[in-house]
A and B are shown apart, each in its own frame.
Chain A
Amino acid sequence: MPETEGPAPRTEANAELVALLNATWFAADLPPQAQVRLASLARRYQASAGTTLLAEGQLANELGIVLSGRVSLRTLVPETGWITILTVEPGDVFGWSALVPPYRSTSTVVALQPVDVLALDGPGLRAALAADHDLAAALYPRVLQALARRLTATRLQMLDLFAR
């Protein structure tokens, strides 16, 4: 559940969230204003192992940053079952669909361990990025980096190099 709601979060809470953001590669070293802005859109939550955080096809309302624990990105293959395509480790993001139309998740996200997550409100983040170009200029390269890393990894996995 959200720890903060409304437009004016408490300063001390914000400072804690900024510190958490700074400990992730995704948001570390962003300009201070950008981190404060992100913290104002963030809520922190914990989930136990086995919890489905987001289901494939569902509206992705939040961009999640894993603070600790491991989550899996899965997809259901009929007659085969759930296949884990990728695990997301601390510092990395899931739910990037919250930034890209049609804002629907491309995989099912399940916690493999107890997880601690910082979640950025999707609609709020989109509005902030559209209004604040400095924020957009700082954040989008990180998003691209995260997705590009994932894309190149997926290509290698697709090659099934260890099959022979």
Chain B
Amino acid sequence: MTNVTKSAIGFLPRAGFQHLIELLAEDGRTVIGPTVADGAIVYGEIHHVADLPQGIGAEQAPGHYRLVHHADERFFAYAVGPTSWKRFVFPPTLALGESRRDDHGHVSFGPAPREIPRLAFLGVRACELAALGIEDRVFLGGPYTDEDYRARRANTLIVAVQCAEPAATCFCTSMGTGPGIRSGHDIALIELDEGFIVTAGTPAGSAIVTRLDLAEATAEQLTAGADQLAAARDRIGDPVVTAGLHDRLLAKLESPRWAQIAERCLACTNCTAACPTCFCTSVSQRSDLDGHTATTERRWDSCFTKGFAAVALGGNFRPRVQDRYRQWLTHKFATWIDQFGTSGCVGCGRCITWCPVGIDVREELNVIAPPPQVSAGPAEAAQPHAPRSSVFRVEGVRRETHDTVTLALSTPDGIDWSTARGEFVMVSLPAVGAVPISISRRLPRGLELTIRAVGPTTTVLTGLERGAEVGLSAPLGHGWPVAAAQEHDVVIVGGGMGLAPLRPIVDEILAARSRYGDVHIYYGARTPSDVLYTEELAAWAARDDLEVGVTVDRADATWLGRVGVVTHLFDRARWDGTKALAFVCGPERMIQATVNALAGRGLTPDRIFISMERHMECGVGLCGHCQVGPFFVCKDGPVFSLAQLGDVFGREGI
């Protein structure tokens, strides 16, 4: 419970409630609260008590919602409806930035004009306070923070109302979030038939409360308030045993139930849209007609959409509905804890009510992971910093293959990029789009990117000429632990485009060759004409301190090099892998085969590092696309040790 002194508890008669709304408005706030619209109680602007759902409640069940009329005159005698406060602090669509490209190819990137409204939330339930607390951890608690969210949150005053009418779909008790209000509010109300018990939770709340015409709350009123809370708690019961749920759920990734749920699940995304904590988004550019100006827009997305985990050229890591349902449920109830130190679920029941086929997460959790305590180590941190695009100039273009080029880019701001860690950058062109590209070489005043034309954006990028300008984010993600390989032998295995992110490793080793043991570089390409960096490969091969093997999957009769899979380059080699570190990049199936062959050479999982390919958009772990088990590939990877990934590596539909 909040530490509010007894003297701060007062009683506001029902007739005085309009005064509270007016005080909030006088404080310069738009009041958002419950109102009836479209057959449901939703959150909208409140100007007058008449806007509130007086005497109206809602009957809820899996896939069922109906408004009902109560005999009393209460304003807040309902359980939460389809909307949540999420939309006011994390808008469904948000302009992130504006970019321009003029007739001379000069590009510029700027912030989108933004107005942060001053709001008061009226009628926030305990589960919803918990949801806002979870969103605070997601958006403000990690290494990257969402400044728009921070501003909206800071500009909002919260008037919470204790829940007295839980729905049949509620399970806040199980999730430990309600029904009693504990923290996160500026003002807390307990509604009784004749009025409200009022307490202030913060100085800002207190400033409002002290202006209300409050009577002293009587012992009877306080008892009535406590009794109705106890009754609400009893009605909800404890339908989900959360103790040990994290481990139980992750132990059931192969449960047959996932496929059974998928037979019912429509992948309609209602659950994620209604959920007060789901935060996945996608970013797109909306261009004006002449292609000179574009607005970068972020909109809510859902891990249930078919293309959510799709990567370039149609690869999709979660093609089946069962994969996507599993992703959602295991993230919400398990890997969320690994990532943010808290469950992602508050037990509000919205996903149950608003599921058109009535899938009940309480039931599914009990069936999949039948019934120990959720850990809650807070993930504190704060380097306020979101990636922004800097303008880079194309200094050189080298064609590698028919569809792949290497762009040498320089930064005009004089920053020394050669030491910038991070594995990839988001490359953006106004009115074209933004894509994640691995750094293929670090230069003193810039970098090289090797880009293959696989989609509309990369097609434009591969067509750029010297002098063109592009936007680059600061380097993102965790790269290869090359320094850890000093004094060790190094095995580098690349497949296809996977050689590009490995090239900086070779550069780094060659810059201090004597610090490393034997170095083996093995590369597999599709055909001889798809081999990247042919001249460099030849130069490396000519050195007597590197072993270089190149093979292709197929070739015509003119190719005199090796044909076969990349693992054949080293599975019969004579070197001893027990002292080596390996760095592997390529298509996931090729990585699997390579990892098996490396294990055969004596390399243990903690010495094998791989780069994972996933759908990356935001680059900072806040859009949800690239999740793999407990990791966001963009933020926690893309380079992982095999030991770190554990059994999520190579698993279908993760």
Contact = CB atoms under 8 A, between A and B. Distances in A.
B525 A84 contact: no
A91 B572 contact: yes
A160 B587 CA distance: 10
18 contacts: A72-B563, A84-B554, A84-B559, A85-B554, A86-B563, A89-B562, A91-B572, A92-B572, A153-B564, A153-B565, A161-B589, A161-B590, A162-B525, A164-B312, A164-B313, A164-B314, A164-B454, A164-B587
Contacts of A164: 312-315, 454, 587
A25 B495 contact: no
Interface of A: 25, 70, 72, 74, 81-87, 89, 91-92, 110, 112-113, 149, 152-153, 156-157, 159-164
A160 B553 contact: yes
B553 A162 contact: yes
Given A25-B572, A84-B559, A91-B572, A162 B587 contact: yes
A18 to B, nearest CB: 20
Nearest to B561: A87
- The 4 lowest CB-CB distance pairs between A and B, nearest first, are A162-B496, A162-B526, A164-B313, A82-B557
Contacts of A149: 568, 571
Contacts of A81: 556-557
B556 A87 contact: no
B556 A82 contact: yes
A99 to B, nearest CB: 21
A112 B525 CA distance: 19
B530 interface: yes
A130 to B, nearest CB: 29
Interface of B: 312-315, 454, 495-497, 524-526, 530, 551, 553-557, 559-565, 567-568, 571-572, 586-587, 589-590, 593
Contacts of B557: 72, 74, 81-82, 84, 110
A112 B560 contact: yes
Contacts of A110: 557
Contacts of A70: 560, 562
A92 B569 CA distance: 12
A47 B587 CA distance: 38
A12 to B, nearest CB: 28
A161 B564 CA distance: 13
Contacts of A112: 560
A87 B564 contact: yes
A152 B600 CA distance: 15
B551 to A, nearest CB: 8
Nearest to B454: A164
B556 A84 contact: yes
Contacts of B312: 164
A111 B32 CA distance: 80
Nearest to B526: A162
Contacts of B563: 72, 84-87
Contact of A156 (B496, B497, B560, B565): B565
The B interface, classified by DSSP as helix, strand, loop or mixed, is: mixed
A164 B596 CA distance: 22
A48 to B, nearest CB: 13
Contacts, number: 78
A68 to B, nearest CB: 15
Nearest to A112: B560
B450 to A, nearest CB: 14
A80 B312 CA distance: 29
Nearest to B557: A82
Contacts of A156: 565, 589-590, 593
Nearest to A157: B553
Nearest to B568: A153
B564 A86 contact: yes
A55 to B, nearest CB: 14
Contacts of A160: 526, 553
B587 A84 contact: no
A70 to B, nearest CB: 7
Given A83-B555, A84-B554, A86-B563, A161 B571 contact: no
A6 to B, nearest CB: 34
Contacts of B555: 83-84
Nearest to A92: B572
A87 B553 CA distance: 10
Nearest to A74: B557
Given A85-B563, A153-B564, A161 B496 contact: yes
Nearest to B587: A161
B560 A113 contact: yes
A106 to B, nearest CB: 16
Given A84-B557, A153-B567, A157-B553, A162 B562 contact: no
Nearest to B554: A83
A161 B586 contact: yes
A83 B314 contact: no
A139 B341 CA distance: 57
A163 B554 CA distance: 12
B200 to A, nearest CB: 59
Contacts of B497: 162
Contacts of A84: 554-557, 559, 563
A164 B498 CA distance: 11
A149 to B, nearest CB: 7
Contacts of B559: 84
Given A84-B554, A86-B563, A164-B587, 11 more contacts: A72-B557, A84-B555, A112-B560, A153-B564, A153-B567, A157-B553, A161-B589, A162-B525, A162-B526, A162-B587, A163-B526
Contacts of A157: 553-554, 564-565
Nearest to B315: A164
A72 B557 CA distance: 9
Nearest to B497: A162
Contacts of A72: 557, 563
Nearest to A24: B572
Nearest to A158: B553
Nearest to A76: B557
Contact of B495 (A74, A91, A113, A161): A161
Contact of B562 (A82, A83, A87): A87
A87, A91, A113, A162, most chain B CB atoms within 10 A: A162
Nearest to B314: A164
A25, A161, A164, most chain B CB atoms within 10 A: A161
B437 to A, nearest CB: 16
A161 to B, nearest CB: 4
B297 to A, nearest CB: 28
